[in-house]
Amino acid sequence: MDLKRYMAEKRATVDDALERYMPEPHGPAAALIKAMNYSLFAGGKRLRPILCIAGAEAVGGDAQKVMPVACALELIHTYSLIHDDLPAMDNDDLRRGKPTSHKVFGEAMAILAGDGLLTEAFNMLARLEAPERASSGILKKIISLIATASGWQGMVGGQAVDIQSEGKAIDAAVMDYIHSHKTGALITASVTSGAVLGGGTGMQMDAVGLYGEKIGLAFQIADDILDIEGNAEEMGKGVGGDSKKGKNTFPSVYGLNESKEILNLSIDAAIKSLENFDNKADPLRQIARYIIERKK
């Protein structure tokens, strides 16, 4: 299979669905909707929605049926970027090569755009046509999985510990906590929610869960390495920003070489976790490899 083509196709499908689901900037709240859409349609790779789709396909499920969940994941990811970029948080001016939300719309509107996207994500989940059998159970499972991965037990928790640790020396355990929660949790939830909706068996869910954990970790390590080795054009944001801000990164805690080794081992483990899956899991396998490719 051709991953580049697969990702381009899925991305287009996700973008179509997002455009269908999101409101046009009309009415009194037009400025808010504009701010929400500005960040949502700023050229993201749609990695989380694609992982959700690929997770469903890997267990024989239907890509189209998971679309509300895939889109909800992208809304949550986007809200987290808007709030992370705020002056009180990471104070970033650029994101995906464009001025950040608060730079364009002001701080108040950026906070509200994030709040609006997070809330709308759950509205989107309520559109889900769950399978007839045990449909309430599946909807509950998906909501609980995504809310847990996004909230204090997941992404928001990781971001809080990250903010508190800035400028302090932290040990590997805290470092692992920050990364597995701040980035890893939602990536894991993306692929597992897809597999749940696709009708995965218990053993398949375990395997996909492990895959998600490993690529979540790999993704953050690759991001940290890119911050050192990449260039601003590839990243669409400032480079070397982490060390300037006294951020704790994998390279700052483990060193660059050991970070690269952990990255490779994580990718291998992710691919190995799918060994009992047939070629319907090829997109997941190739997405794992793509995470390393990104750093070139």
Binding footprint of a copy of itself on the chain (CB under 8 A): 23, 28-29, 31-33, 36, 79, 83, 86, 88-89, 106-109, 111-112, 114-116, 118-120, 122-123, 125-126, 128, 130, 135-136, 139-141, 143-144, 147-148, 150-153, 156-157, 159-161, 163-164, 174, 177, 181
> Which amino acid is it at 296?
K
- 166 or 261: whose CB is closer to a copy of itself? 166
Please give the backbone phi and psi of residue 95, each rounded to the nearest 5 degrees, phi first.
-150, 125
Angle at 211 between CA 208 and CA 213, to 5 degrees: 110
Rounded least distance, CB 132 to a copy of itself, Å = 9
- 116 or 283: whose CB is closer to a copy of itself? 116
Q: CA 52: distance to chain centroid? A: 10
Cα separation, 150 vs 136, in Å, equals: 21
Nearest to 186 by CA among 144, 129, 146: 146
Could you tell me the two tokens for 125? 């989940």
> Which amino acid is it at 111?
I
- 250 or 290: whose CB is closer to a copy of itself? 250
- 52 or 54: whose CB is closer to a copy of itself? 52
Cα separation, 59 vs 55, in Å, equals: 7
Rounded least distance, CB 153 to a copy of itself, Å = 8
- 178 or 225: whose CB is closer to a copy of itself? 178
Rounded least distance, CB 1 to a copy of itself, Å = 35
Rounded least distance, CB 187 to a copy of itself, Å = 16
Could you tell me the two tokens for 78? 């986007």
Residues whose CB is less than 8 angstroms from the CB of residue 265 and which lie 6 or more positions away in sequence, other chains included:
none
Rounded least distance, CB 279 to a copy of itself, Å = 33
- 161 or 269: whose CB is closer to a copy of itself? 161
- 7 or 149: whose CB is closer to a copy of itself? 149
> Which amino acid is it at 291?
I
Could you tell me the two tokens for 72? 């909800």
DSSP string computed for 108-131 = HHHHHHHHHHHHHHHHHHTT----
Rounded least distance, CB 217 to a copy of itself, Å = 16
Rounded least distance, CB 72 to a copy of itself, Å = 10
